[in-house]
Amino acid sequence: MNRRNVLKSAVAAAGAAALVRPALPQASSGGGRLKQSVCYWTYQKWYPDLGEFCKEAARIGLKGIDLVTPDQYATVKAHGLVPAMTSGSGPNTIPIGLNRLENHDKVLESLRSDINAASNAGVPNVITFSGNRKGMPDAEGLANCAIGLNKIKGFAEEKNVTINLELLNSKVNHKDYMADHTVWGVELMKRVNSPRVKLLYDIYHMQIMEGDLIRTIRENIAYIGHFHTGGNPGRHELDDSQEVNWRGVALAIAALNFQDYVAHEIIPVKTAPIASLEAAYQICNV
């Protein structure tokens, strides 16, 4: 089933209303070779009750919920899902991050708290960021991030939790963000050299910054711990209105025997919110 047929079936099953859920088939229990997750924040305005959203995610066949906080872990787990990526807590945020030495104490304290909570709940991943440049040369920021991550990697290894530093675009969504290219992130991973420190490769962001997705993923999969999706332009549905061949990307990731999560971070604008998630799941169900 290709994505055009998925969306045609969605419209047909909805009658003529784009905002009615299509009668897509029940997902198979196997779910393909990829463990798929979804970021809660992009659906929260339609599903303020996390439990209701988890019911839908589990019905579709997803395995996890991304970017949730420790107080939400129990709700996610109660529905047979994994809190696949914890949401960063301040001051461990996108603009602050680890690229400035003066931020290290407070950011690392926040990370230790996140790692502890994740370890206690059996949550596999926490998130962190480079921070914004604010005039700092990329080489200096890279060196500072390496210092910070080398300080905390032993704790993450001890707790069996993976720290994922997210690659984001600095062109559209996160102006001035430093970790905006894979080459920079991979060099950082080499300097840290820990099985518990990886990159969160957000495919939407890296399509904006550099493209060449499949080749880049294949060459650097050893340094990638997690993926996010999102249609470009706009981080909307994974459909024919945007430029990434998601089926091809999913097949490439699966062929690499990737064992962590591929999480959908899509903001629906054209179809019913849950229909967009069902369609994304089917596209990546390889």
Tell me the per-residue pLDDT of 169-203, one tens digit each, with 9 for 90 and over: 999 999 999 999 999 999 999 999 999 999 999 99
| Residues above pLDDT 90, as percent of the chain | 86
Q: State how far the Cα of 94 lies from the Cα of 188, in Å rounded to an integer.
A: 17
Q: Which two tokens stand for residue 120?
A: 């206690």
Q: What is the CATH superfamily name and number for domain 3-15+29-283?
A: Divalent-metal-dependent TIM barrel enzymes (3.20.20.150)
Q: State how far the Cα of 65 lies from the Cα of 57, in Å rounded to an integer.
A: 8
On average, the pLDDT of the chain sits at 91
In sequence order, which residues have a C-beta less than 8 Å from that of residue 158 and are 6 or more positions away? none
Terminal alpha carbon distance of the chain:
10
Structural domain spans, the chain? 3-15+29-283
Q: How confident is the prediction along the chain (286 residues), in pLDDT tens digits per residue?
A: 443 443 344 434 344 333 333 333 344 445 699 999 999 999 999 999 999 999 999 999 999 999 999 999 999 999 999 999 999 888 999 999 999 999 999 999 999 999 999 999 999 999 999 999 999 999 999 999 999 999 999 999 999 999 999 999 999 999 999 999 999 999 999 999 999 999 999 999 999 999 999 999 999 999 999 999 999 999 999 998 899 999 999 999 999 999 999 999 999 998 899 999 999 999 999 9
Q: State how far the Cα of 108 lies from the Cα of 236, in Å rounded to an integer.
A: 33
Cβ atoms 196, 225 nearer than 8 A: no
The CB-side HSE value for 227 (13 A sphere, CA atoms) comes to 29
Q: State how far the Cα of 12 lies from the Cα of 55, in Å rounded to an integer.
A: 24
How confident is the model at residue 122, as a pLDDT? 96
Q: What is the pLDDT of residues 226-259, one digit of tens each?
A: 999 999 999 999 998 899 999 999 999 999 999 9
pTM value is 0.89
In sequence order, which residues have a C-beta less than 8 Å from that of residue 102 and are 6 or more positions away? none
Task: Return the bridge partners of 54, or none.
Answer: none
